[in-house]
Amino acid sequence: MSGQSAAKRRLPDLRTRLINPVLGKEFTLRMRTSRSMWALLFYLTAIGILAFGFMYIFRMDHGLGAASFDPGRSRTMFLFISLAQLGLIAFMTPGLTAGVVSGEREKQTLNLLLTTQQSSTSIILSKLVSSLGFMTLLVISTMPVFSIVFLYGGISPGQVGTVFAFYLFTMLSFGSFGVLFSTLMKRTMLSVITSYGLTLFMYGGTAFLYLILNLMIVNSVASQPNPPGYYNWTGFLMGLNPAAALISIFEPDLSRSIFRVAWSGSSSAAEAPIELWQEYFLVYSVLTVIAVLLSIRHIRPVLKRKRKKAAGQG
């Protein structure tokens, strides 16, 4: 009996250490509202429509009035669903994280939160984890849709796990950017606009800059009598693009083609200086850490300035 009572006492202690009051409150507010249910329904409906729409478009007619899906396209279908979900993550993550601190400031509850025993690190990480927790629930709920690919083969469970790990890392990175903008900016609307602007640039702006700069380099190389090697530095721009990084995990030739200048004398056999997904993880890991540290530093800017002034006068 004493052993059972001791175990019961340890369980609440462990739960208290893992889930602080801020995190528990955020989880309760996010998971028990009707908006969460409708968001989950919308998300699964969108993924399901895209998956079955792909199968309908690429069905094969055998001439007898019956059509079936070609199993050889299962890999293409997997990449299509993966990219579609990545786009939905880019659409929803800034909206979930860009108002976590500025929203408290607008409701005039941030000062009250800062007077509690919770540290700045605990507050920022709790806000980030609670936002990403709901997004993780949305992503995991799409596993049955991804399981459709296993009916036709061509994709291993390890590859699916790799894609979901990529999703979690991307959510963490762009979620930290949203929390940073929410901490630095006083208005939620401005924070949301900035977060979506950064996301749009990383997805579309990097690809657009790559195409423009690559075209300029190709034109300059083609006019030279002795063109240089295949190497193209603009490929590093595509390493910042989440969609390109995701595709490069399953298509290694993409990295080589991105870093290769497309002219007739270039060498297509040369290796890329770095895989796109490797650059993506390295750069965004550093940016994520910086964003979280800046959020922790600036959530109490007024108090820190007063301390500095008092230290200077003393």
By percentage, how much of the chain surpasses pLDDT 70? 73
> Quick one: average pLDDT of 159-185?
91
**Has residue 257 been placed in a domain?**
yes
Residue 313 tokens, joined = 């006068």
Side-chain half-sphere CA neighbours of 91 within 13 A: 12
Give 58-67 pLDDT, tens digit per residue. Answer: 765 444 445 5
Would residue 136 count as lying in a domain? yes
Query: Which of 18-27, 123-132, 212-221, 301-310 is least confident?
Result: 301-310
Residue 190 lies in a domain: yes
Q: State residue 70's pLDDT score.
A: 61
What is the per-residue pLDDT for 64? 44
Q: Is residue 48 part of a domain?
A: yes
Highest mean pLDDT among 12-16, 235-239, 280-284: 280-284
Query: Is 248 contained in some domain?
Result: yes
Residue 309 included in any domain: no
Mean pLDDT is lowest, of 40-54, 123-137, 217-231, for 217-231
pLDDT value for 287: 95
* Rounded Cα–Cα distance for residues 107 and 96 (Å): 17
In 3D space, the residue among 57, 83, 55 whose CA is nearest the CA of residue 242 turns out to be 83
pLDDT of residue 225: 56
With a cut of 60, say whether residue 297 has pLDDT above it: yes
DSSP reduced 3-state for 139: helix
Is-contact 258 211, C-beta < 8 A?
no
Report yes or no on 281 lying in a domain: yes
Domain that holds residue 269: 8-301
Choose from 61-70, 144-153, 183-192 the range with maximum mean pLDDT: 183-192
The two three-digit tokens of residue 185, written as one number: 């900016």
Question: For the chain, what is the domain count?
Answer: 1
- 137 within some domain: yes
